[in-house]
Structure 1
């Protein structure tokens, strides 16, 4: 063998080996650097939720499958690959293909009242007056009290659809006052003891309602304003009871995916309690608080101006125009079809509504007025039009807008928002035509027509008048049937809403009606991370399955609350 050649080749191979090692090290360092650079360019998120079917409810009603959350707000929305390419998060949640929607908003309810109702006799769904009496007797045995309260009866659900009288309550509870509230909150049945404490007899007169009498004596039924005489003598809940009520209501709402509630009528003390509990972290739900129309509330809040925190918004006044259709307290232009000569009544006189509208229009506050009957609706709509002349973007609402005359729908094309509750239609449809007649009922529960005029509708439940579930709201809006799928084909389907319209009404449109569309109501970058993971796809499953949907996980500010 040629020795010089051997040494030459050996040296050459050694040189190549050393060169290869250097190149390998450089390549490894390059890959490592690129990897570190890639990690360095990723943003840190608090939470990533992926593998979902997300309805963002943005302007395009677009969809996604993953979201990143940071500091309680949506950081990104899009496809899983892009989200994981751009973000890191120690907390990751696989949604396993489940549907996600924005946190649901109940645009009209009685949140505090719901909590208090957990502490009284539950009369919802009772099918007879005898069943009511049984429940009251049983409640008093288990929870002895010196003033018995209950809520939820509806004589329209009984075989004999007439108001009850106090006689049997008098014999069962001769020394204990009893006040049983009708399901709509617009009538009481009270016993003799309660009447005596309230100073009510056959000569008592109260404007804006009715003390029902027979042979000149009170039957025990009080409709609308006379109810306040009983409230004045009833024991007031202490602070501990109030806190317990608010927490109980919050849990019920979270169980159904509600992250914001519009409480339609609160006093200053309750609003301040809600605020304090939110500030200490004892209450997480967001509350749009409508102040009750009292002199004390108006003088304080209208002068103080809007109060806004991350979870509380106080910028509106709740006014009662008239009563309810079920108790024949709704103010109608023509007499009730099933009660000759009876027109219902305005709770707040026409002149007072007009002057109140002028006063509120001079502030930043919104006016939200309960109007059920066609007479009450036109009174409110005319007062709004006059007071808002020359003013823009005030977003005043008509709460319920339940019976509207054909000529009056156009008022809603002038910036007035209808705030409606779809389950009222499916609760009332059995007897609504009896009250209104075949022609007038055509203008009742006209959600689609109201939407066409106003451009939006804000949707709520009015709980505890109706059940808390927003899925019943959704079902009633799109199917307009009860849980037995009655009536076949739906009730007045010309005014049903589409699923997209309904979801908007429970999210972005409700947020808009609260002046909060820039911060909530859709899953978009920069908005608060309020969202719900549903058990089923609410936008595609058969309509009859919508009521059984569950809110499996609920998030407020990106933190799980259910």
Structure 2
């Protein structure tokens, strides 16, 4: 009898095994936030051919599927692969090849970094990025005198952290044939006592003739950016404003498998030839590359007073900032894009820029509801303009709020601050909000995005009660903004953004439960492992 029972048990086991389906990877005993429509949790899932094929309990998955690769998550938290809805992936990668002056606390510290960089690299043209005078004790723009003494013959061009101001020396000005009498529109060459200071704002920056990077440097930059992004759990990045040459290089690297990152490429709308090319040739879509949008600049940045405001800046008399193009040019671009299947995504910081662009969108879209045209940043909104976001998607970067909160009120005044960094108000109007970082303007770390959106404090717990907390997002809203809503903003919600059957198996294992951990501990969140198509990439 005992032998019969053993035989029956063995036959049951073999029968069960024979009916199990083969999976490439099984994850069990996890604390998974699926971010599906019901925002359900799960303990396990199975993956085959790069996609999720089942989600359920550990028992259900193990009974139905078998695999040589099983991960026991030991109750670690898992979320869908994170999506940065607005960043400069290519730019961040190229910055790794140049001098990095981010985080500097004085102009002298910037100069020390430049000297050290040149000693190591012996460059014929020094370029870099990251300075921010608002972080210095002396908060005025630097001037070029010290640069001229240190580098009398080597051109130097160092971009401000926001990418909207450039510090150059006389050698760079001479090379580019810029004088105090040079005329520009859509920007500013800042003079002091009638002489060049070395500071160029927005369109004026384009006058500087910076040498192009080699193909080898570009490839290294893209691969460096991928490595950094994967380490933070990012599996899709929206690169806001790149040209055809870079897009085609990205595609070629993805095709051979060296660049695995999924990229939503916004074609730079600054070049009419590029707009014409992509509209005439149509959307480019692969599993890793999606080219179906144009990034257009509406104005400059608040930090460099280039953001276009309805009334003068509170800290600079009779200064309004400026639109990059004329209102008529925005109409031309918008009409051309509206007649295609492409999306228009426009950088708009100041309340005047937001007004112009929102009204332009409304005029050309004629109340179409599913075009998903985006306002990038949507930073300062006039009270009456919130209503215009009923069919215009806001794409914001929460860490801008916690970076700017120290000085923004001085720059625009208390009244306008009520419509600034108003993430909750924007969400309530559209129903969704896409979240990003704008790296390398801000740090790559998406967990700082989560912290800034929900807790709205800096890493020193300032301000005590949070910054304009009426516009904080809930944790669920924030995770959606970094996953499924970001995917929606890219027309990709059916293939990514949540852990659901049929979607790409992109997910991240975290070191703590970001949905429940104490608020002040959110910045300590780290990606333990990052998976793309079920493949471990970090």
Do both proteins adopt the same fold according to a TM-score greater than 0.5, normalized to the shorter chain? yes
> CA offset at residue 68 of structure 1?
0.6
In structure 2, the residue matched to 1:215 is: 193
* Partner in structure 1 of residue 246 of structure 2: 270
Query: CA offset at residue 31 of structure 1?
Result: 5.2
Taking the aligned partners of 2:122 and 2:469, their CA distance within structure 1 comes to: 48
Partner of 1:442 in structure 2? 418
**In structure 2, what is the equivalent of residue 326 of structure 1?**
303
Please state how far the C-alpha of 1:399 moved relative to its aligned partner: 0.1
Trace 1:523-538 onto structure 2 (pairs within 5 A). 523-538=499-514
Determine the C-alpha separation between the residues in 2 that align with 1:31 and 1:244: 57
Q: Would you say 1:432 and 2:408 are equivalent positions?
A: yes
Deviations 1:102-123, CA, capped at 9 Å, x for gaps: 0000000000000010111111
The aligned counterpart of 1:14 is none
Q: In structure 2, what is the Cα distance between the partners aligned to 1:115 and 1:329? A: 25
Q: 1:390 to 1:431 in 2, by over 3 A?
A: closer
CA displacement at 1:29 relative to structure 2: 6.6
Summarize the alignment of residues 88-487 of structure 1 with structure 2, pairs less than 5 Å apart.
88-230=66-208, 233-293=209-269, 294-413=271-390, 415-487=391-463
Tell me, in whole angstroms, the C-alpha distance in 1 between the residues paired with 2:8 and 2:166. 80
SS class of match (1:512): helix
Could you say what secondary structure the match of 2:32 adopts?
strand
1:547 has 2:500 as partner: no
Deviations 1:375-427 (A, max 9, x none): 000101001001111534100000000000000000111x2100000000000
Cα distance in 1, alignment partners of residues 112 and 8 from structure 2: 81
1:521 pairs, out of 478, 492, 497, with 497
SS at match of 1:260: strand
For residues 47 and 163 of structure 1, the distance between their equivalents in structure 2, rounded to whole angstroms, comes to 54
Within the alignment, does 1:76 sit opposite 2:54 as a pair? yes
> Cα deviations across residues 478-530 of structure 1 (Å, max 9, x unaligned)?
01000001001100000000000000000000000000000000000110000
Pair 1:496 & 2:453 matched:
no
TM (normalized to structure 1)?
0.94
- 1:4-41 Cα offsets, whole Å, 9 max, x none, are xxxxxxxxxxxxxxxx89xx77x777655544332232
Q: Any stretches of 5+ residues in structure 1 without a counterpart?
A: 1-19
**Residue matched to 2:43:** 65
Secondary structure, in 3 states, of the residue corresponding to 1:465?
A: coil
1:556 is aligned to 2:535: no
- Alpha-carbon deviation of 1:269? 0.6
After TM superposition, give the deviation of residue 356 of structure 1 in Å.
Answer: 0.7
Number of positions where the alignment pairs a residue of Structure 1 with one of Structure 2: 537
Residues 51-97 of structure 1 deviation map (CA, whole Å, 9 limit, x = unaligned):
11000000000001111111100011110011111111111011111
Q: What is the rounded CA distance, in whole Å, between the counterparts of 1:522 and 1:28 in structure 2?
A: 44
The offset of 1:165, in angstroms, is 0.6
Alignment partners' CA distance in 2, 1:68 and 1:324: 45
Please, what TM-score do these two structures have when normalized by structure 2? 0.98
SS at match of 2:196: strand
Tell me the C-alpha RMSD between the 2 structures: 1.2
Alignment map for 1:22-61 (pairs within 5 Å): 33-61=11-39
Distance 1:548 1:206 in 2: 46
How far apart are residue 214 of structure 1 and its match? 1.6
Q: Which has the larger radius of gyration?
A: 1
Per-residue Cα deviation, 1:428-487 (whole angstroms, up to 9, x for no partner):
000000111011111000000000001000000000000000000000000100000100
* 1:226 alignment partner, SS class: helix
SS where residue 464 of structure 1 aligns? coil
Residue 440 to residue 142, structure 1, CA distance change in 2 (3 Å)? same
Looking at structure 2, the residues matched to 243 and 109 of structure 1 have their Cα atoms a distance apart, in angstroms, of 18
Residue 79 of structure 2: SS of its match in structure 1? Answer: strand
C-alpha displacement at 1:216, in angstroms? 2.2
Determine helix, strand or coil for the equivalent of 2:211. coil
Give ranges in structure 2 of 5+ residues lacking alignment. Answer: none
- Residue 347 of structure 1 aligns to a residue whose secondary structure is coil
Supply the distance in 1 between the matched residues of 2:198 and 2:68 (Cα, whole angstroms): 62
